Every structure is written in structure tokens, then in C-alpha cells.
Structure 1
Amino acid sequence: MKTTSSQISLIFFLAALLLFTGGFAGQNPPRSLKGPPFTDPAETQAMPEDWINQPIKYDPSAGDADIVLSLDQHLYPALLPMIQKYAKEHGLKIVVNEGTCGITSGMVERKTVDIGGFCCPPGKTDRLPGLRFHTIGIDAIALLVHPDNPVKKITIGEARQIFMGEIHRWSELKSSNKEKGFDIPIQVVGRLHCKLRPGHWRLLLDNEDLFAPGMQEVGAIPDMISQISLNPGAIGYEVLWNTIRYKDKGRVKALLIDGYSAENADHLISLRYPLYRVYNLAIWEGKGVENPHAKKLVDFLLQHTKDLPKEHNIIPAALLKKAGWKFRGDELIGEPK
């Protein structure tokens, strides 16, 4: 049977359409802008045998400590009073270092601490042999703007467009209950910490390349608060506790996302509010690295997360388990369906 020129043209048209729309059978759909919330807990970072056999050895500054911890800058102020009380009641010398996830990760890998505290879920390279993660809880990440900004709410889609640089002025928002005349440029402010770990800001946009070229990047939480408070057109992100902790850096306010609030625990537990941090404690298990005192301390902290001051806004792991979040042992590993 002869093929006519019109049939040939139709074949080429359909082939081109399939190519540019990704319509071939079995082809993966376009990748979501949202990054992965967690890594696979079954994957463990390979380490040499001499490292595996290496015992825990504290830095000389820890002296004759019974337990040594390194906590990130979120968990340190939240847990320190509880740890100090526990140490006094049990007659233990507990040394607590304040750092970042990066600093804590380094101390854990060097095996100079019994417990490491993180504000992110573990990345693949954090899952070291003998190290087990226990989730304290989660905390909403708020989208923050200048207090004089009349915008009160945006959609998660608009938030992504803003941080990608696709929406340039506040007056371009369609969902907002903005006041007429608030037509000023948007200045995106970002703090791209823990790039290799899942969750946190990567729930907004998966990687740094997706953010607007004109984004003002800051390296510290106080600078995030300060830059937003100084610019009526700015938008950034941080947990609400840090807006209280660094209130001397300026005033900011939180936006609703899709009508849901970072201040409402039920909105986050149900994942109607989509952005959050995961707080974890990592502890050693096994011969030569396990510290019974450290295990009891972690158990105590997990049991008493509910007793933390309300301004920390940490939703305990126990409530997440009841709501259908996925756990492996004490570690949060997946969102609810």
C-alpha cells in the first residue's frame, strides 16, 4: 500500500507532538519542583574497616564527660534546659556543643560525640554504619515578609514561582487579598543550607539551580530576619521560633499558604501546610561506640518533647505516628498519604 504525502506529514506531526509533550508510553512524568522529603533508611554509607572499628573518643575539651552532644542551632536552645536538668538529677557530666548540621555531621563522622542533633532528615552520607536516627518532631517553615506588606496569603504554586523569579512584583499575584497600589518588586531572600540533605527548603524548590538568579542569599538565620525586615518587597523563610529568638533583628510576618497557617499544628500534621523541618537525634549502637547513658538521655528527650515551651512549635513524633506519618523505629521516614 502506498503512503501518501499527507499520511507522511501526519506521522511526522504525531511523532513531534509525542516528543515535545513526553507522551510516549511508559515515560516518566515531568519532575516535581518539590524535592525529596526523606532518604531511604535502608541505604548506609560505606566506610573503611578501620573507621568501623574506631571507638568514640571525645575531644580533650570534653574532659571526663559522661555524654557529649553536638546540637544544631535549632535543637541547642530547645533541648539544653531539659538536658541540664537531666544531668543534675542523674549526677552526670554532659557536655553540649552548639553548631550547625554541618558541624555536627563532622563531629559524628570523627566519632567525637555520642549524640548528634540535626534540623534536617539525614542525607545518604549521614547514614553511617552503627548510627541510628531518632526523630524529635517537626516544625513548620514559614514564608516571611515585611510587616507592612498587605499580602496575607499565597498558594504554594505562587510561592514556587516567586522563588524561581517567575513572578516579579507583588501586584502580579492572583490569589492574594492585596491592597490596591502595592506594586513593588519582589526581593527573594534565601538561605540554602544543607543542600545534600532532603526536606527543609528543598520542599519548596528541589535545588539551588531552581532559585531566582536575583535571589539575595544569606548565610545565617539572623541575616534572613534582618533582610526581610528592612525591605518591604522581601520574602524569605524560617521557622517561627527564630523570628522570636532574633526579634532584635527586625519585625516580620508569616503568610498563609493555600489558606493554611504555619502557626497551626493541625495544618502541618495533616500536611495541608506543606513546608517543615525535621529534628533528629543520631546515636551510636554497637560494640565500642554505644554509650548506655546516651541512649537513656535520648529516650528521655523523646518522651518529653511534648513538654518543650510552646514557642518552639515542635510537633512531637508521637503525634505524627498517630496521624499516619511513616516511621522506621523512632525515625520519621515518610509523609502521610
Structure 2
Amino acid sequence: MDIERIPDRFGICRHSKKPSEEAVHPQPSEPYGAAHCLLTPTTPSRTRCVTRFAACLLLSMLAAASVSANQLPERSSLRVVGSTTVQPVMEAVAARIAEPLGVAAAIRGGGSNVAVSAVCDGTADVGMVSRARAVEECRDAAWTTIGYDGVAVIVHQSNPVRTLSRDEIRSLYTGQTRRWTLSGFDHPVVLVSKAPERGTLAVFEDYSGLVSPARDGAARAGAGANAGLIAPTAWESGANLESILWVAGSVGGIGFVSLADARGAMEAGMPIRVVDVDWVAPTIATIADGTYALVRPLILVHRTGNARAQAFVMMTRSDAAKEIIREAGFVPAEAAP
């Protein structure tokens, strides 16, 4: 059956912010349409999603993986938590390098901010972070950069736009530009943003000079008086795949995700496309030499004095680990200036 009705066990739909009525709502009949919530008439308290089965299943798996740090296994395994961008690399390092040496690691997502909090409060051994370190953040921890990733701006495959400047991106994400008005392409803009705990959002905010309205008052004040706000009508997604699904299901969609994940989605047939930013294409070369604007470090964080965590982090400095980082579409730390 093409469309299935399945329980929203992990609150995926409830956590997505509804856009304005003017926006294009991805419909279940569209390819890769994102989840829509309905209240079942006979049981109004039960929220259910109507979507393509594969898309909902993938999102459910992501949500299941993104558990809080205190749900991780017992002390017998290293507890590794955080960025879903870094997660596949660490899973490969664990399987191909650590486990053959007798080192077990339980790896979960959750976001960069979750990683830092979990390491600082001792509920995780290693945190995976995909953004720069904030001032005064977890000062008694060691921060090790293992590589670099580009944050790609993506649109629907049918959108003819090829490049966007910083000013154009700001105009789109503040809601000033509400429609794509290109030759033969006239559709409402559907904005896809990120939840505050996601490292991808921090990179986008630094580049654009915009701040998510979901940030607390202190964070918004710290961004400066000239910082604008991302339009409150933007969808807030979690993991990169969720953003990709929204853009793939919205003809007027635009979002920002890990370049490696965007490439993987396109190779899998997702109807999205990566656009140039400030007339520079995001490639391994432009990320490595710094000419592409949206670049972020991939970092592992652990408390100083945690010998088990330090040994695991040191495994990522090996030639075998660097090859894993390259295979994932990232730039190893030593390859960047």
C-alpha cells in the first residue's frame, strides 16, 4: 500500500512547527511528502501521521535513535551521544577500529547541544559536535576536531535557481521574499529551519546573521542588535534527513543540511538540489580551502581525565579513521588549512 496510517510514537509530527497558510503544505500524495497529523475521530487524544510509509519509518528510526543521554546503556560501553552528522562516522569507527580492539561503544544522536550537556554532566563519555565551540562552553573538557563539513543550501529539484547570495538567503528566511518568481517557476517559499539544539542551525545563523525565534532571550540578545529573526513560519526539523524530506516534498522548499547528507539523498533519488552560495559551489576542495562560506568543524568532546574516552578519540586520528571520514564525504582535519 502506497500510503499507510501509523502511530506517531516518537512525536515527530508534534515537534514540527506548522507554517503559515500561505506556504505550500507537502501532501501525502507527493513524493517524499513529510508527515501530516490527524486526530482520529473515534480517539481524539491519539495523534497519528498520514504519510508515505517509508518516509515515516525513516523519521521514526531517527527519532528513536535520538534518545536522551540518560537512556544510554550501562557503563560497560562507552557512551557516545550528539550530532547526527558525526554519528555515522563514529559508528563506522566503532565497528571497524574500536570493536576489533575490544572497545565497545553505544552511539546515539540527539544534537550538538545535547552532546555538550551530556559530557559536562557526566551522562556521556564522548560528545559529537558539528559546530564551533561557544565561549566558556564546558571548559573542563577536551575538544578534538576530527574533520570539516559544509552546510549545503538545498531546494526542490524543479527549482531553477542555481546560486543564492547571503542577502537573498536573508530575504528568504526572514519572510521578506515569499515567492519564487523565476522564469517559468512561480511558487510560494516553504522555509525549513532547524531545532535550536542542532549544530547546523548555529552555522546557518553565524553565516546569515539571523537567529531562530526558538532561541531563548539570552541567546537572541547575544546575537547583537543587528541580528534578524528567522521567520516564525519556518518548519523546525531535527536530523538532516527530516529537512531533506520536507524540501523533497515541497516544490517551493528551501533548507540547509550537511553536504554529505544532501549528496547521499540525491544519489538515492531524492528530488532535491544543492545550490551555490555566494557563487561558490560546496565541494570537498572549497570546504578544504575555506572559499565556501558555510563550513563547520566536526568535533569530539570528552572530560579531561576520562582515559577510556581519550583512547577512543585517539582512534579517530589514525589513517583508517581518516579514510572513514573521507568516505563519509567530509574533509579530515589535517587536510584543511
TM-score relative to the length of structure 1: 0.65
Residue 261 of structure 1: SS of its match in structure 2?
Answer: coil
Residue 62 of structure 1: SS of its match in structure 2?
Answer: coil
Q: Does 1:308 align with 2:328?
A: no
Deviation at 1:163, TM superposition (A): 1.2
- Spell out, residue by residue over 1:156-198, the C-alpha distance to the aligned partner (whole angstroms, 9 max, x if none): 2211221122223222xxxxxx5x2222222222114337999
Against the structure 1 CA distance between its residues 194 and 125, is the aligned structure 2 distance closer, same or farther, given a 3 Å change threshold? farther
Deviation at 1:217, TM superposition (A): 2.8
Gaps of 5+ in 2: 1-69, 214-228
Residue equivalent to 1:207: 211
Residue 255 of structure 1: SS of its match in structure 2?
Answer: strand
Residue equivalent to 2:47: none
- Spell out, residue by residue over 1:37-66, the C-alpha distance to the aligned partner (whole angstroms, 9 max, x if none): xxxxxxxxxxxxxxxxxxxxx98932434x
Residue equivalent to 1:170: 180
Alpha-carbon distance in 2 for matches of 1:96, 1:63? 13
Deviation at 1:235, TM superposition (A): 0.9
Q: Is the 8 A contact 2:82 2:113 kept in 1?
A: no
Q: Is the 8 A contact 2:113 2:199 kept in 1?
A: no
TM-score relative to the length of structure 2: 0.65
Residue 187 of structure 2: SS of its match in structure 1?
Answer: coil
Across the aligned residues of Structure 1 and Structure 2, the Cα RMSD in angstroms comes to 2.9
Deviation at 1:118, TM superposition (A): 1.1
Code of the aligned partner of 1:298: V
Residue equivalent to 1:189: 192
Residue 317 of structure 2: SS of its match in structure 1?
Answer: helix
Deviation at 1:311, TM superposition (A): 5.4
Alpha-carbon distance in 2 for matches of 1:161, 1:284? 41
Alpha-carbon distance in 1 for matches of 2:81, 2:278? 37
- Spell out, residue by residue over 1:261-306, the C-alpha distance to the aligned partner (whole angstroms, 9 max, x if none): 12x1222233321112321111222xxxx23333232122033453
Deviation at 1:140, TM superposition (A): 0.7
Alpha-carbon distance in 1 for matches of 2:239, 2:93? 26
Alpha-carbon distance in 1 for matches of 2:201, 2:244? 23
Residue equivalent to 2:118: 107
Alpha-carbon distance in 2 for matches of 1:297, 1:196? 22
Q: Is the 8 A contact 2:260 2:329 kept in 1?
A: yes
Gaps of 5+ in 1: 1-57, 172-177, 324-337
Alpha-carbon distance in 1 for matches of 2:238, 2:146? 25
Residue equivalent to 2:313: 298
Q: 2:250 aligns with which of 231, 247, 252?
A: 231
Q: Which moved more, 1:243-252 or 1:83-92?
A: 243-252
Q: Is the 8 A contact 1:199 1:276 kept in 2?
A: no
Code of the aligned partner of 1:79: M
Against the structure 1 CA distance between its residues 217 and 284, is the aligned structure 2 distance closer, same or farther, given a 3 Å change threshold? closer
Alpha-carbon distance in 1 for matches of 2:292, 2:146? 19
Query: How many corresponding residue pairs?
Result: 250
Q: Is the 8 A contact 2:111 2:197 kept in 1?
A: no
Residue equivalent to 1:72: 83
